[in-house]
Structure 1
């Protein structure tokens, strides 16, 4: 007790909601817990998602997140890899974002984009090989600047997960993907 960080077992939570397009939606209105939309990245213990007290609200009660098991994570120091990316932003069952990211481990850059019919998000991030993390900028709908951050997971950076955040929290997006 006393810690502000709590662990969530998304594998167990996923049993309570059948996925739509790979995204689990779980509403926990009892007790005011809110609603979760979350997805697993491939077969690894890596998850990304969003939470809101009320997805119909003004967005100020939204949070995007990612979490994963970083045990045995390694990141190459050269070469490139492509990742098939999925994302959530106010997920409604049919508005999953999809796209592709490319990691250039030699130049330590991660770039790419994901989109649906209402939102496009691109990222341009620096990779920190020693921590398996990335951070940089995000751009929503080609005009709104924000930040991106995340991590690689697994041997040889097999998967990644992260978030793009903006001053307008309605645009905040969580994403994840596995190597192609």
Structure 2
């Protein structure tokens, strides 16, 4: 199983851009494979991109150079499911973007919090497929009592159809310091349960007993990583199973 690594304050050099040294400790994110995708604070200034917010870098153009997600939205429209699909190259895109790969990502509510998947080719079984989340205004603490529910979407091999998107509810029990729940697509051919994950005092979430069913195949021992943002108004995370096909990014807002 791939080791999840927390990444902060990284920077996607696309052409000749100016870089600022600005970093924000409030940007928190994680990638299931940092050989292909890194997330953290955006540092690129140029074109539609500005530094300082939630960002992403991919291997093709310098993985330690991060652009902001808000700038990436300029390159594609949000679809009916609320997901941005960027498949480079495409007509009209800069030549420096030709090998950027395939992005599927969604915004959590209206916040600078994003979840998604990337792969070099966007094909079934692509071994480069990586899921991630990245968000600004990460919380540093959580309540010690009370509960909250989050309506979430999950991205797993998204193909542009509503049937491929996962939906579900996660419940945060701050008194018990646990996060539980599951998400599924409309045909129930994909089901992901995060098991019982731990809500940590720094507002991060960690777990190791996630499980799922993918087109009849049972998977288990998935690793959960997540984070609360904006005073627990938002939640984003990922589940990392052995291999890449079953890895799932998720995010949502408090009900």
Q: Same fold (TM over 0.5)?
A: yes
User: 3-state DSSP class of the match of 1:168?
Assistant: coil
Higher relative contact order (CA 8 A, sep 6+): 1
* Structure 2 match to 1:119: 190
SS at match of 2:149: strand
Q: Is the deviation greater in 64-73 or in 91-100?
A: 64-73
Among 82, 99, 102, which residue is 1:32 paired with?
99
Whole-angstrom CA distance in 2 between matches of 1:122 and 1:176? 14
1:101 equivalent to 2:170? Answer yes
1:151 aligns with 2:223: no
Measured in 2, the distance between the counterparts of 1:47 and 1:6 equals 17
Moved more, 103-112 or 88-97: 88-97
The secondary structure found in structure 2 opposite 1:106 is coil
Q: Does the Cα contact within 8 Å between 2:120 and 2:126 map onto a contact in 1? A: no
Q: Where does residue 121 of structure 2 map in the other structure?
A: 54
> Which consecutive aligned stretches of 4+ in structure 1 deviate over 3 angstroms post-superposition?
2-6, 71-74
Tell me the TM-score normalised to structure 2 length.
0.65
Choose which of 141, 144, 150 in structure 2 pairs with 1:83: 150
Displacement of 1:71 in angstroms is 5.1
CA–CA distance in 1 between the matches of 2:67 and 2:248?
19
Superposed counterparts of 1:58-77, under 5 Å: 58-70=125-137, 74-77=141-144
More deviation in 62-71 or 133-142? 133-142
Structure 1, unmatched stretches of 5+, are none
CA apart distance, 1:72: 5.7
Alpha-carbon distance, 1:58 to partner: 2.1
Give the Cα separation in 2 of the matches to 1:45 and 1:73: 16
TM-score with structure 1 setting the length: 0.91
**Matched-pair contact (CA < 8 Å) for 1:24–1:37:** yes
Does the Cα contact within 8 Å between 1:73 and 1:154 map onto a contact in 2?
no
Q: Structure 1 pair 18/31, CA: closer, same or farther in 2 (3 Å)?
A: closer
Contact 2:139 2:228 in 1 (8 A): no
Aligned residue in 2 for 1:128: 200
Q: Deviation per CA, 1:149-176, whole angstroms, max 9, x where unpaired? A: 1101011x11110001111310011000
- Aligned CA-pair RMSD: 1.9
Change (3 A) 1:5 1:76: farther
CA contact (8 A) 1:97 1:115 kept: yes
Deviation at 1:134, TM superposition (A): 0.4
* Distance (Å, rounded) in 2 between the aligned partners of 1:149 and 1:50: 15
